Structures are given as structure tokens and as C-alpha cells.
Amino acid sequence: MSESITELPAQPSPLLQLDGVSKWFGEVRALEDAHLVVGRNEIVGLLGDNGAGKSTMIKIVTGFHRPDRGTITWKGQRLEHLSVQRARDLGIETVYQERALADQQSLWRNIFMGRERTTRLGLLDVGGMRDETEKLMVDFLRFTSQAVTPESTVGSMSGGERQGVAIARALHFEAELIILDEPTMGLSVTETRKTLDFVRGIKAAGKSCIFIDHNIFNVHEVADRVVVIDRGHTAGEFKTSEISVTDLIGRMQHLAETGSLDGGAPAKAAT
Amino acid sequence: MSGVEQAPPVNMSPQRGAGTHSVSDALSAILRRYGLQAGTVMMAVILWIIFAVGSSETWLHRDIYASLMSTVPVTQSGIIALTLTLVVIAGEIDLSFGSVMAVGTWVFMSCPQPELGLVAAIAAGLGVGLLNGFIVVRFGIPSLVATIGTWFFWGGIVIVGTGSVGAGTGFASGFVTNLLTGRIFGYVPAEMPWMLTFAFLLWVLLNRHRFGAHVYLVGDNDQSARMMGVRSDRVRMGVFALNGAAAAFAGISSTLEAHYFWPTVGSGAMLPTVAAVFLGGTSIFGGRGTIFGTFVAAFVIGAIEPGIISIGLTGFYTQVIYGAVIVIALIVQAAVRGRAER
């Protein structure tokens, strides 16, 4: 599954690498000496308690926060002064559940939100955008119902479908790294399944993803590798092919109790 | 984009019997898209039938239409209702336009040269509109209260500046007066082609230009739009500026039609104009609305008063009927929307 990507001194440089990243908010330390590697075409699950530093880490990756210390490397190139705009230009796209779509607008207007295509006259290329949306619907979204057209409003779709639209949009605009922050929050079981299928779609499309979810089962299911953040540190990481979900849960519990991922967990899982 | 094609088969929505429901699906899609507009037209037709039955000598004769074509676009500020539609779709409201009409007209009257005055007045309207937008955007004041404030302020400025003294528009007789209020073939008031021009240009702007796309997005979900790189602040300032420019234009036009400048011009414009926007199906919550709906609704609002008087009721009933039409229309809209949402 995960080729040579996760070996740390990676030969083909990883897509994204955070090294020794620290971030303080006044007196509060959000991250200290944290590390994160995202390989090419890899899905990385981020696990950690509330306040562990996941959001801060994501906001550093998307250029929203600037780290106080440490380096960000993108495809082997060190990034100084990463801004939100620069991150987007590089192909880092965040998909927030509630902040992604405009509900009363049509599917095609959502897909092309903020990046509308125009003709030479400077007018919207409505036909072109509709056709492009239709293609996405067939190829990626697999909307099969006749009732759904590029003119359908996004508000009439289910939670999972909406996640799909946001992910399809990111892929359509050549995002290299898609960050999903709690994409299954508040979704029913069926809708969660749909969302996880779309996350697999990112992998199939040859792109990478950072997947944050409170549900360890979801993370273990779709991620190639899980990175555990605890109190601002990177506590450890596991390839999901090498650890069972029970074992992972045991270790997370052990971490919560002792502050360390190692030891105890297998025994706990066994009992 | 190239990678997307390789996505695995992800079965999205349950396959609804392909074909069997497609006709009703298509119908409900059409209803969803055009239902409100069809409703607005139906309302206009019903009112027309009532008036035509009640007073055929008025409503089957062309004079009433010549009259409506001159009053609806500017005196009843139908043109402003069109630009106000963009403001409301963007999730804002502008109540100051009545005073901006006065400001624009005052600037026009102060210019010795009417052509130059027209340009200066529209620029002034644009500027006041921009200022409205700036106050809303920069200080985060809800536009409802911000523009009530600027409505008082600019109205007051004109009263102070003119000493509340009016003036005739004789100096402008000639090109500008003909341009804005002339009669085409001696019958069609120039206000009407102007309103059609405004409607057409605004329709293109709203539906076929990036700016219009952003107007819808900002009004629908400002946060999403910002996240996706839409410059929300600029968009909102833009719609306020447009509304200000249209207000100045309508103020001058209605003043030239009356041949006399009242410093209080536009003071009665607020409610019918706002009513036309909502009657036309534009959502007060933003994100939804059409130029077409407002256009038709402006004529409905404009026709109510002559309609009532022509069928023999006293003018006292005007407000009652206004109120009833607006409330009933909003209830029907809410019902249609509730259906479309499912």
C-alpha cells in the first residue's frame, strides 16, 4: 500500500513536511516541536484530543498561522512566509463542513465558486461550467438520479453528497493536498460511508489528504497512516496496515492516561 | 482535473427508477427555478383582470399604460428597485436611497450645465452609495440601521443646503429633459426604455458576470464565499454604489418629469420600492432573487393605486390593498419555497 513514502529520509521528497514546529498564543503553547509528514498520494489521519494541537497544525499548513519555530517543506522546498493565498496556489485546499458551500445556489455555481470561468467578452461561461459540472457528477460524484442536474441547489443534497461536492471541487481545481476537518461530524451512518468513499476518491485521483476525525474507526478505515498529536507534540504514528483498530484505540487510551503511546497498549488490547 | 476521472465507482444516491420519474423530476426542477417568477406574473395578471373587469374603460385604454410607464420607473422608483434587488440578494438592505435621490437631484440642479450635471449627479449618487457600503463593511454595522442613519443624514443635508427651497427645471429643458423624460412617438415615456435598459444591463451583470455570481454567493453564505476567495467587501460596496447611482438617476428623472425640484424628492420612495423587491420574490435573507421578479412587481405596486381608484374605491383603500397584496404574496412565496426545498 504505502510505498516508500513513509520512510522518513524519503527519497522522492514527501509532499509536505513539518519539522520542529512550535506555536505559542501568548502564554499558551499550542504546538511544541511537532512533526508531520504527508507523502505523495497518501491519506494521513490526524488523531488527538480536543486542544491537542490538530487545528493549530492544520492552520499552519494552510498558511493561516505562522509557526514561531520550525520549518515547512513542500515537495522538498522550504517554505518561508506561507500565506493562505500561497498555500492555495500551491494546491493546499481545506474542506470545512459548514463553510464550503452556498446552499441556495446551483451545483455548478458551487463548483466554480470564486473561480468562475469567463468567455473572451468577460461574461460567465455558463454553458462550459455546466458541462464541466455534469462531467464531475458522472465521473467523481456518481450522482445517478435524474433529479440531480448542474442546476440543482446544493441545499437539497444530503450531508455526504455535500462533502462530495466540496471534495470534487478541490480535486477539479488541482488541489494536491486536501485537508478534511471533521468531515463526518453530524452525519448519519450512511452519509458517513459516502464521505469516506469520497476520501478514497482522493487517493484514487492520485492526490493526498489530511483527514481529521474524532472517530478512530473512520480514520483507521481510510488513512494509510495515522499521526497522533498529544499536548502539542507528535506522540507517534502508525501505518494502518500494521495496527488493528482495537490496538490503536488501546494505545490512544494509554496515551490519555500516561502521556505515552508505547507499552501497555497491546496488553490492554489483549485483556 | 485529470485525476478525477480515475475515481472509483462511488455509488452516491440511490438510483431512482431512471425514466419513470424523469418527467415529474423535470417539472419540479422547472418549478424550483421559475416557480416564484411564474407566481409574480400570475399575481400581476390576476390584479389586471380584477382592474380590467372593474373598470374596462380605464384598463382597456392605452392612456393608463402611458401613465404607468412614466410613474413606475422613476416616481415609484422602479429603477431603484432593480438595483436594490442586487443589494438584497447580497444579504444587505439600503433604505437611504430616497435621500440619495434628493442629493443627486440637488447636485444636478446646482450645475449650470445639465449634461455635466447629470454626470456629476450620478457620480455623487455612486459616491454616497459607496460611503454606505463602506460604513457597513468597514465598521460591521448592519445595513438596515446604517442606511436609516444615512437616510436621515443626506436628506437633512439637502434640506440645509437648499434652505428647503425648490426650483423649476427650466434650465435643463432640451437635451437632458428629452433624454430622460421625452415621449417616444409622442406616446412612450422615455422612463420606460430607461427602465428596460437598466433591467437588461442588471440582468446581464447579475446572471452573466462574475460580479453577479459573487453577489449571490456573498448573500447566500458570506463565509463560504470568503473562503473561496470572493472579495465580499468589494462586492457589497459595489451593490451599494450601484444603488446610489440609480437613485440619483431616478431622482433627476422624476424631477424633470415634474418640471420642479422639491428638496424632499424621494421622501416617499422608500416603502413602495422595498415592497417591489420582496414582492418580486427576492429573499430577505439574501442569496436569492431575480431582476425579472422585481420588474414585474414594481408595475404591480405602481398599478395598485390607479387600479383602486379606477374601480371606484376611494384612495383610502390603497394602503389596505397594498398591505394585503404584499402579505398574501409573501405567504405564497414562503409556501412555494418550502416545497422547492424538499
Structural domain span for residue B193: 44-341
* Mean pLDDT across chain A: 86
pLDDT of A20 > 80? The answer is yes
Per-residue pLDDT at A261: 77
Task: Indicate yes or no: CB of B227 within 8 angstroms of CB of A141.
Answer: no
pLDDT of B19 > 80? The answer is no
**What separation, in Å, do the N-terminal and C-terminal C-alpha atoms of chain A show?**
30
Structure-model confidence comparison of residues A2 and B231, the more confident one: B231
In a domain, B77, yes or no: yes
pLDDT of A172 > 80? The answer is yes
ipTM of the complex: 0.81
Mean per-residue pLDDT, B69-97: 94
User: Contacts of residue A140 in chain B, CB cutoff 8 Å?
Assistant: 4, 7, 10
Structure-model confidence comparison of residues B30 and B323, the more confident one: B323
Domains and CATH numbers, chain A: 9-99+175-240 (3.40.50.300)
Burial of A200 (0-12, 13-18, 19+ CB in 10 A): middle
Task: Indicate yes or no: CB of A114 within 8 angstroms of CB of B228.
Answer: yes
* Residue of B204, B224, B234 to mutate, interface with A, max A Cβ within 10 Å: B224
Per-residue pLDDT at A55: 87
Model pLDDT for residues B129-143, shown as the tens digit of each residue: 999 999 999 999 999
Confidence of residue A97 (pLDDT cuts 50, 70, 90): low
User: Contacts of residue A148 in chain B, CB cutoff 8 Å?
Assistant: 13
Structure-model confidence comparison of residues B42 and B5, the more confident one: B42
Mean per-residue pLDDT, B266-282: 91
Mean per-residue pLDDT, A9-35: 87
Task: Indicate yes or no: CB of A126 within 8 angstroms of CB of B4.
Answer: no
In a domain, B108, yes or no: yes
Per-residue pLDDT at B45: 93
Task: Indicate yes or no: CB of B228 within 8 angstroms of CB of A148.
Answer: no
Residues sharing a CB contact under 8 Å with residue A139, sequence separation 6 or more, in sequence order: B4, B5, B7
* Mean pLDDT across chain B: 88
Distance separating alpha carbons of residues B273 and B280, to the nearest angstrom = 11
Per-residue pLDDT at B340: 57
> A79 - beta bridge partners?
A72
Structure-model confidence comparison of residues A263 and A32, the more confident one: A32
Mean per-residue pLDDT, A68-82: 91
Among A143-152, B158-167, B322-331, the minimum mean pLDDT is found in A143-152
pLDDT of B15 > 60? The answer is no
pLDDT of A268 > 50? The answer is no
Distance separating alpha carbons of residues A165 and A153, to the nearest angstrom = 11
Q: Domain count for chain B, please give it.
A: 1
Q: Which long-range contacts (CB under 8 A, 24 or more apart) does B311-320 make?
A: B311/B50, B311/B51, B311/B54, B311/B55, B312/B54, B312/B55
Per-residue pLDDT at A67: 92
Task: Indicate yes or no: CB of B224 within 8 angstroms of CB of A113.
Answer: yes
Per-residue pLDDT at A107: 93
CATH code at B55? Answer: 1.10.3470
Mean per-residue pLDDT, B114-127: 96
Question: Order of strands, edge to edge, in the sheet holding A16-25?
Answer: A28-38, A16-25, A69-74, A77-79
User: Contacts of residue A141 in chain B, CB cutoff 8 Å?
Assistant: 10, 12
pLDDT of B3 > 60? The answer is no
Confidence of residue B1 (pLDDT cuts 50, 70, 90): very low
Model pLDDT for residues A178-196, shown as the tens digit of each residue: 999 888 888 899 889 989 9
Distance separating alpha carbons of residues A175 and A209, to the nearest angstrom = 10
What's this model's pTM, rounded to 2 decimal places?
Answer: 0.84
Mean per-residue pLDDT, B176-197: 92
In a domain, B163, yes or no: yes
Residues sharing a CB contact under 8 Å with residue B53, sequence separation 6 or more, in sequence order: none
Distance separating alpha carbons of residues B109 and B101, to the nearest angstrom = 12
Q: Does B7 touch chain A (CB under 8 A)?
A: yes
Confidence of residue B16 (pLDDT cuts 50, 70, 90): very low
Confidence of residue B241 (pLDDT cuts 50, 70, 90): very high
In a domain, B313, yes or no: yes
In the numeric block, the cell 497498549 is attached to: A265
Mean per-residue pLDDT, B62-74: 90
The alpha-carbon gap from B233 to the nearest alpha carbon of chain A, in Å, equals 14
Per-residue pLDDT at A140: 86
pLDDT of B6 > 50? The answer is no
List B residues 203-262 in contact with A (Cβ-Cβ < 8 A): 204, 207-210, 213-214, 216-217, 220-221, 223-225, 227-230
Per-residue pLDDT at B105: 96
Confidence of residue A85 (pLDDT cuts 50, 70, 90): confident
In a domain, B30, yes or no: no
Among A94-108, B112-126, B295-309, the minimum mean pLDDT is found in A94-108
* Residue of B89, B227, B234, B285 to mutate, interface with A, max A Cβ within 10 Å: B227
* Residue of B13, B22, B32, B230 to mutate, interface with A, max A Cβ within 10 Å: B13
Task: Indicate yes or no: CB of B7 within 8 angstroms of CB of A140.
Answer: yes
